[in-house]
Amino acid sequence: MTRNEKLIITCTILYTLASGMSAVFMNVFLYTYTGSLSVMALYTCIRIGMFPICFTIAGKIARKINYGITMSTGLVFLFFQCFFVLKCNDLIANNHNWVYFVALLYGIGEGFYYLSINTLNQLVTTPKTRNTFLGVSGALSNIANVVAPLLASFIIDMSLTDMDGYLNIFKIVLVIFGGISVIGLLIKEKGNPIPFSVIKSLSFQKDPQWKYVLMTYFIYGFQNSLILALAGLLVYNATNGSGSLYGKLLSFFALLTILSFMFVSKTMVRTNRMKYYTWGAIFLSSATIVLVLCPNIYGAIYYGVVNAISTPFYSGAFNMITMNALNDYAEKENLVGRVIAKETYLSVSRCIGMLFIVACNYFLSESMYLYVSVITLSLSPLLVVLNANLYHKKRDQLKLQGNIK
C-alpha cells in the first residue's frame, strides 16, 4: 500500500474509535442535561442539516487545495466541539440552547470530514490496491467499533459518576481528534479538476436511474432519523440510565453486526439481492417499532440484536444497488456533485423525520407522540424496497424491449 493509503487507514481507525466512544455518549451526555427527546431530535436535525452545505464547501476547497486540508479542517471543528463541552458544560446545564451550538460545530466537523475521507478512499486507491485497502480498513474499523463502547464502559466504571465518565471520555476523544487533524495535513491529494454542479445533480435530469437513486436516499433517511435521534436514547433509558451497561450492549450489538456483514458478504449475489433487501427492511422496521412499544430492557435487546443482524442485509443491498448506478456516471463527469446531491436528499429527509418527531411532541400528548412518530417513520425501509422493486421491474421490461442495455 502507498503512504497515503496507510495514512488514510490510520485516520479512519482513529476516527472510528473516537466516534464510537463519543458520538453516542455525547447524545446521552446532552440528554442528561436537557431531559427532552424532542430537543435531542432538533439537535440532531441541526447537526445533520449542516452536511450538504459543508459537503459543497469542502468539495470546492479541495478542488483548489487538497482533501487532506479539508479533512483536518473538519477535525478542528470536532476538536473545538469536544473542548466546548468539556469547558462549558455548566453553561449547557443552565441554558439548553447551547446544545444547538454544539450541534452546529459537530455538523460542520462531520460534513468536512466525511466528504474528504469518502472521496480520498476513491482517489488514493487503484484497482490493484483497492481490495487490500478496503479489506484492511474494514476489518480494523469493525474491531474499533467493538472496542470503542467497551473502552467507554471501562472509563465510566472507573469514574466516580457516569457524568464524570462522560467527561473523561471526551478528554480522550479530544486528544484523538487533535492527532487525526495533524495526520490529515500529511495527506496530499487534490480532487478532480473537472468542475461539478450540485444544482444540476439535485434535479432528476429526465434520467430514471438518477431519479431512482435520489428518491431511494430520500426515503431511506426517514427511518435513519430515528436511529440517529431517538433509538440510542431509548435503549439508554431502558438500561435505567446506566452508561456502563449501555456501552457493553453497544459493543455486543457491534459484534453481531460484524458477523452479519461477514455472512452477507459471502452469500449475497445478484439473484438473491432483492430477497435480502426485503427481509432486511422488514426486520429493520420491526426493531424500532418493538423498541417503542416495549420500552424496557427486553425491547432494547430485541432492537439491538435485530437491528444489528438485519442492517447488513438491508444496507448491503442498498449500497450495492446505488453504487452500481453511480458507476455509470463515473467516466463522464466529476462525481462529487452527484455524491453531494444524494447526501443532500438523505440529509433533508433525516431532518424532516426529526422535525416530524418534534411536531408530534408539540401537537400530541406525551403518551402518544413517541408511538405515532416512531411507528410512522419505521415503515420507510418497506417503502425503499417497494421503490426498488418497481424500478427494477420497469427497468427489466425496458431491457426486454431493447430500449436500454
pLDDT at residue 24, rounded to an integer: 66
Whether 235 and 311 map to the same domain: the answer is: yes
d(CA 298, CA 294): 7
Q: Is residue 6 domain-shared with residue 29, that is, in the same domain?
A: yes
Of 165, 191, 217, which residue is a domain's last? 191
Report, as ranges of residue numbers, the positions in the chain whose pLDDT lies below 50: none
Distance (Å, whole) CA 73 – CA 69: 6
User: Domain end: 172, 191, 210, which one?
Assistant: 191
CA dist 246 and 32 (Å) reads 14
H helix intervals, 88-129: 89-94, 98-123
Q: Are the CB atoms for 258 and 385 separated by under 8 Å?
A: no
What local confidence, expressed as pLDDT, does residue 86 receive? 87
**Grid cell listed for 144:** 474499533
Query: Which CATH number covers residue 152?
Result: 1.20.1250.20
Q: Are residues 150 and 101 in the same domain?
A: yes
Q: What is the pLDDT of residue 111?
A: 92
Phi, psi torsion values for 126, nearest 5 degrees: -120, 165
- Residue position matching grid coordinates 445533480: 201
For residues 80 and 18, the answer to whether their CB atoms sit within 8 Å is no
Of 159, 191, 223, the last residue of a domain is: 191
Count of domains in the chain? 2
pLDDT digits (tens, 9 = 90+) for 167-196: 898 899 999 999 999 998 888 766 666 667
Residue range 128-148, pLDDT digits in tens: 776 677 777 877 888 888 888
Specify whether 266 is located in the same domain as 310. yes
Q: Which single residue is written with the C-alpha cell 458478504?
A: 265
237 and 146 fall within a common domain: no
User: Distance between CA 322 and CA 273 in Å, rounded?
Assistant: 13
Are residues 200 and 297 both part of a single domain? yes
Residue 360 CA neighbour count, 13 Å, CB half = 21
Give the pLDDT confidence score for residue 282 in this predicted structure: 95
Residues 244 and 114 both lie in one domain: no
The CA-to-CA distance between both ends of the chain, in Å, stands at 36
- What is the rounded radius of gyration, in angstroms, for the C-alpha atoms of the chain? 21
Q: Which domain holds residue 359?
A: 194-405
Whether pTM > 0.75 for this model: the answer is yes
Cell representation of residue 280:
432486511
One domain for residues 176 and 239: no
| Model pLDDT, residue 302 | 96
Are both 243 and 387 inside the same structural domain? yes
**pLDDT attached to residue 330:** 64
User: Residue type for 306, please?
Assistant: V
- 368 in helix, strand or coil? coil
* Residue with grid cell 438491508, as numbered in its chain: 314
Is 320 in the same domain as 307? yes
- Residue-by-residue DSSP string for 113-178: HHHHHHHHHHHS--TTTHHHHHHHHHHHHHHHHHHHHHHHHHHHHHSSSHHHHHHHHHHHHHHHHH
**Burial of residue 235 (number of CB atoms within 10 Å: 0-12, 13-18, 19+):** buried
CA distances 338 to 45, 70, 327, Å, are 22, 19, 11
State the average pLDDT for the chain.
85
Q: Which helix (H) or strand (E) holds 380?
A: helix 380-400
- Determine phi and psi for 189, rounding to 5 degrees: -150, 110
Q: How far apart are CA 313 and CA 284, in angstroms?
A: 9
Same domain, 245 and 265: yes
319 and 256, same structural domain? yes
Please, what is the Cα angle at 307 between 281 and 26, to 5 degrees? 125
